Chains A and B, each alone.
Chain A
Amino acid sequence: MANSNAAPPLPETHETVTRAMERVWHRPPLIRNRALRWTSAAAALIYLGLALNSLDVNWLRVYEGFDRGWRFARGFLLPDFISRWSDIVIGMQESLTMSFTSTVVGVLLSVPIGIGAARNLAPPPVYLLCRAVIALSRSLQEIIVAIFFVAMFGFGPFAGFLTLSFATIGFLSKLLAEDIEDVDESQAEAIRATGAGWWQLVNYAIQPQVMPRLIGLSCYRLDINFRESAVIGIVGAGGIGATLNTAMDRYEYDSAGAVLILIIAIVMAAEYSSGYVRKWVQ
């Protein structure tokens, strides 16, 4: 359809007015200075080109990689649960134990730290200390922490347990503290007005408001910890990750596929049940 047909005919007077004014409008640009706008765009493009050039791709190796990838995919499609079954069972047991214990310990430690990191409950020195603990835990990635604990306490699930507990603190305390800061102040005010002490205030006005979220987040963290246990196992912190790593090192992609399928199944089961729990505690 032609463009001229799109607009309905305007009344005579209106048309004359628009023609007389000829007002144009453009969206204001993000960067107002025209020179700055063009130079920054050009600089970004040049850097991107140089950076891509420096990647130094070995195309022959990429071609071989497709072959390996295919073998991996085939192992995944034809998983071998049998030949390494006892290793898989041990790895799974370690991982499940590790993720459960670290979640429980992490939550127990997160509750006081989270309360301390809530501006509306804690005095400034406690607040700063707890926020510092959270920042430390969040800034260190699990694998780095795992390498550190493996170096300290040797290979095995104990290092994994410590790593995941530490990571849980950063995750849960931060979200709990934010939830506490968002509580309905009027309920807290009402409890304070009865002459309640600080602990009673926390127990009667804060806890009922944040409990559903705390339970939901704990379920979610259990799920994350299980997945992380598969990753940190690769750096020696035990669990199903160690089993997976061994299978990969031996080019037993069918056993590795079996491990991955089990991980996916458990994560999905955890996802489903935590959704159910969260709905139930509302």
Chain B
Amino acid sequence: MLRIDNLRKRYRTGDEALKGVSFAVPSGQIVGLIGPSGAGKSTLIRCVNRLVEPTGGRIFLDDLELTTLSRAELRKVRRRIGMIFQEFALVERLTVMENVLSGRLGYVSFWRSFARCYPPADVDKAFALLERVGVLDQTDKRADALSGGQRQRVGVARALEQDPELLLIDEPTASLDPKTSRQIMRLIREICAERNLPAIINIHDVLLAQAFVDRIVGLRAGDVVFDGPPSDLSPEVLTRIYGEEDWTALQRGQEREDEPSASDRKIVDGELERRTTLA
């Protein structure tokens, strides 16, 4: 459970990115954060794990207030928050396995991580996750040798390797083609369901958001201007979030997706028993 209370951020340049944002995300819920560029979406999710320091308001993970933590306490909390990035943000010259294992950095000592000598349980989990996201055969390749979709799968595995209690996802599909985008969104959705994980997803693509998230929060110029189920995204609401535009074309494409369709099952083939082992 994540609770954001009157969150404010003003950058040193004077730009007010967030003007008192409040909402809560219960366990297992996927919140899609939509809004025009510069609305403060990216700032908002970075305030949660304090990659960006908020200038006002409070954030709670369960009962722990994140906004007042010391550096050492912050490190401990960051382990519990997995993050998935827009351009994947894998360390390109490290292998896929090293990238996944970097999810354990908050748990192991520097010398262990330096020697790449992780506890067997961590390595085992990393293998299981690579298998779960479907890139097990790429384990020893360098991250920059992978395709976009494969890289984002590794990004998902790295976040899950942390054993997170919350996922922060920043434009996960911005550099992917439409089909891969849907596959990645489906993967994220399934994983959140498996682990009852709450997630906040920044997303540009309204159709993709409507198809894969439980709830939409619309942000405009640092204010929440919409908070409701995806089915309530009417042309009036979209105009409130993004401004005037002909939204009728977008409405026609709307469809809910709750179960993976047969055509896209290829990558999740035979995973049912894996799911039970991982759960």
Contacts and interface: CB of A to CB of B under 8 A. Distances in A.
A194 B102 contact: yes
A211 interface: yes
A190 B79 contact: no
Interface string B76-88: 1111010101110
A195 B165 CA distance: 14
A199 B158 CA distance: 19
Interface string A168-200: 000000000000000010110111111111011
B22 interface: no
B48 to A, nearest CB: 10
Given A204-B91, A211-B93, 12 more contacts: A186-B85, A189-B51, A189-B85, A190-B85, A191-B105, A194-B78, A195-B77, A197-B110, A199-B110, A204-B113, A205-B91, A209-B92
A204 B102 contact: yes
A203 interface: yes
A152 B106 CA distance: 49
B91, B92, B102 — most chain A CB neighbours (10 Å):
B91
B150 interface: no
B94 A208 contact: yes
Contacts of B105: 191, 194-197, 200, 204
B148 to A, nearest CB: 15
B103 interface: yes
A191 B75 CA distance: 11
A118 B81 CA distance: 28
Contact of A194 (B86, B92, B94, B158): B158
B78 A195 contact: yes
Contacts of A199: 110, 114
Given A189-B51, A203-B114, A196 B93 contact: no
B181 interface: no
B162 interface: yes
Interface centre among A190, A191, A204, A209 (most CB of B within 10 A): A190
A204 B101 CA distance: 10
11 contacts: A189-B51, A190-B85, A190-B89, A194-B83, A194-B103, A195-B78, A195-B79, A195-B106, A197-B110, A204-B102, A208-B94
Contacts of B98: 204
A194 B79 contact: yes
B49 interface: yes
A193 B51 contact: yes
Contacts, number: 82
B71 to A, nearest CB: 10
A203 B162 contact: no
Indicate the member of A193, A199, A204 with the most B CB atoms within 10 Å.
Answer: A193
Contacts of B79: 194-195
Contacts of B113: 196, 200, 203-204
Given A204-B91, A204-B94, A193 B49 contact: yes
A190 B104 CA distance: 12
Interface in B58-82: 75-79, 81
A193 B93 CA distance: 19
Contact of A208 (B76, B87, B92, B107): B92
A192 B91 contact: no
A122 to B, nearest CB: 16
Contacts of B224: none
B70 to A, nearest CB: 13
Sort A-B residue pairs by CB-CB distance and give the 10 closest, nearest first: A195-B106, A195-B78, A196-B105, A190-B89, A195-B79, A208-B93, A186-B89, A193-B83, A199-B110, A195-B75
A191 B99 CA distance: 9
Given A195-B76, A203-B113, A186 B87 contact: yes
Interface string A202-235: 0111001101100000000000000000000000
A132 B94 CA distance: 33
Nearest to A210: B93
Given A186-B87, A197-B75, A203-B113, A191 B102 contact: yes
B164 to A, nearest CB: 10
Contacts of B77: 195
Contacts of A192: 51, 78
Contacts of B94: 204, 208
A64 to B, nearest CB: 60
